Every structure is written in C-alpha cells, then in structure tokens.
C-alpha cells in the first residue's frame, strides 16, 4: 500500500501508518470490535460506493446489538467514507468501517471503556484471486447461532468460526467451506458469503432462520433475479441438495458473485458456471460498474 494513504480515525484523517493502538487493546485481546465491509468500483463517472447507506445502517445495527455508542451519526460516517476514498485516490477499493474499545488492560468488562471509530480503504480486486469457479467442502464446523452470538451482526469475534471452517477446507485442498446451520441438518452459508443454488430454473437460498448474515449482496441478487423473472425461494437447503442442484454460487461484498462448481468433490451440474449464475453475475457487474442506470440509486459517487 502506498505510504500516502489516509485512515479516518475518530473524526480525523491521519496517515495510515500513524493509526496505531496498544497490543493490549480490549478489542484486539477479546475480539470485541464491530465492522462493515463495503466495496467501491470504478465507473464511467468516477469511483462509486455500492449501497453505502445500507452498509452503514447495518454497521449501526451491529453497534446497537452490542451496545456500542458510535458517537457519530450515519450521515457523518457516510460523508467520511466518500471523503476518504477521494483523499486516497481509490477507485476499485474495499472499505472497512470499524469500531472498537480503545482501552488497555486485561478483563472482559467493557464498562466505561472508550470507543474509537475508524474507516480504512484499500485497493481491492477479487477475494478469490484468479479463481472464477470454486471447489468447496462442507465443513465439520457449524455456523454460530443467535443463542450463542448475534449471527446477524458483524462482530470481529464471530469470524473465528469462519476462519476455522475456511482453514479446514483449504488444508483439505478445497477453495472454500460451506457451513451447516447449528441444527446440523441444513446449510447456512460460506465463511464470509451467502449461498445460492439453482434447481429446475428456481433460485434457492437459506432463510434468516438458518442463522445467516442477511447479506446486502444477497439482497441485490434476489432483486436482480426477480427483475429477470427468475423465481426465488428462501428455504432450508439439505446437504444432498448441493450434490444434485443444477448450479450454485456464493454472493458477498468481497466475493461478488462467484460460481461453485463442485462440493465435496461432486460436480455441480456439468461442473461449469451455469447460465443463471452467469446472467446474475453479468447484471451485478453492470450495476456496480455504473452501466445499468436502472439501479443508479445504489451508487454513491465520489466527487
């Protein structure tokens, strides 16, 4: 990363290399930070942030769930995000709002500990690098559920669950993991992605009751599919359905729309990216790149 990049830290833009905290910071020791993941894309009109307002709303929802006072308004965070991209001269970027207990010491209690809020932005291409089609493994680890941790919130500690599942899959020679819901009977999502399957022309995705994160890209996919006349059903997906479906793909801010071509070494369909996946992925790319004006309201342009 270039040395002239900035980070927004408690209302001030400072050089990223100066954004430092103690090794004993509470949220580093105990995973008590909260965050968002947002993407910006290069468009013919310049850099644009995709569904900024929806992401910042979810950031504030997570803060409410964890009883964290962010000190700033949603409008202030949105404005700071666009200004950060402008200052850093970024187009294709990943943006990370983050809030944490900026207090040094040992002990679980958060009582009276100060909160810091930061926003970082880094150049970003694809989560999976050059891989356009993924080979996945159904993990032995189950997705956390809301009786243990708030599954619908983006808190740092939640993602230890994801790291274990993803590491298990990659150590076994696969590209990514798929986690069961806590019931152990149906599937939930990937480590950082929602999952869709296609069967007989119908798009199917796990419901909120499967303890998934209600992804903003997931919602985008559902809206794209419905606009194109593709039936969408939110219901439980059994493990064996992954082996017999016609198509499958992940959706997510970092993942975009990424095809899954096999699960547990069983080919999905003909083992290639399917036509409905391709149709949705193409439309998604058109929207985020500012070439589909019917969804221009989803883009916040950096002036």
How confident is the model at residue 129, as a pLDDT? 83
How confident is the model at residue 227, as a pLDDT? 95
How confident is the model at residue 10, as a pLDDT? 97
Instruction: Provide φ and ψ at 240, rounded to 5°.
Output: -65, -20
How confident is the model at residue 3, as a pLDDT? 61
Q: What is the mean pLDDT of each run of 10 residues along the chain (303 residues)?
A: 82 96 95 97 96 98 97 98 96 97 92 96 88 95 93 94 97 97 90 97 96 96 97 97 98 96 97 96 96 91 91
SS3 state at 112: coil
State the catalytic residue, choosing from 154, 170, 185, 285.
154
Question: Given 3.30.70.20, 3.30.470.10, 3.40.50.300, 3.30.160.20, which CATH number is that of 6-123?
Answer: 3.30.470.10
57 is catalytic: no
Question: Given 3.20.10.10, 3.30.70.360, 3.30.365.10, 3.40.50.720, which CATH number is that of 133-288?
Answer: 3.20.10.10
How confident is the model at residue 149, as a pLDDT? 92
User: What are the distances in angstroms from CA 134 to CA 177, 226, 265, 268, 302?
Assistant: 10, 25, 11, 11, 33
How confident is the model at residue 2, as a pLDDT? 52
């Amino acid at each position: 990363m270039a040395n002239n990049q900035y980070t927004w830290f408690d209302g001030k833009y400072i050089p990223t290399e100066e954004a430092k905290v103690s090794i004993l910071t509470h949220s580093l020791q105990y995973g008590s930070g909260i965050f968002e993941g947002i993407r910006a894309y290069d468009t013919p009109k310049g850099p644009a942030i995709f569904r900024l307002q929806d992401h910042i709303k979810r950031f504030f929802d997570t803060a409410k769930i964890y009883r964290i006072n962010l000190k700033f308004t949603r409008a202030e965070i949105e404005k700071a995000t666009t200004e950060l991209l402008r200052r850093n001269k970024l187009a294709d970027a990943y943006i990370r709002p983050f809030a944490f207990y900026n207090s040094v010491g040992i002990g679980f209690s958060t009582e009276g500990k100060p909160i810091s809020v930061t926003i970082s932005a880094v150049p970003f291409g694809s989560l999976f690098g050059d891989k356009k089609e993924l080979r996945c493994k159904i993990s032995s680890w189950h997705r956390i559920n809301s009786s243990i941790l708030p599954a619908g919130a983006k808190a740092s500690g939640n993602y230890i669950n994801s790291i274990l599942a993803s590491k298990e899959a990659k150590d076994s020679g696969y590209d990514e993991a798929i986690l069961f819901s806590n019931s152990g009977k149906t599937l939930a999502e990937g480590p950082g992605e929602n999952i869709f399957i296609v069967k007989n022309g119908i798009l199917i995705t796990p419901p909120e009751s499967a303890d998934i994160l209600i992804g903003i890209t997931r919602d985008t996919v559902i809206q794209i599919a419905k606009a194109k006349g593709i039936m969408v059903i939110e219901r439980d997906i059994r493990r064996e359905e992954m082996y017999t479906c016609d198509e499958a793909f992940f959706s997510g801010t970092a993942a975009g729309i990424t095809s899954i071509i096999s699960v547990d070494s069983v080919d999905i369909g003909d083992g290639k990216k399917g036509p409905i996946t391709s149709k949705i992925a193409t439309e998604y790319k058109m929207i985020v790149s500012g070439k589909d004006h019917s969804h221009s309201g989803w883009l916040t342009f950096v002036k």
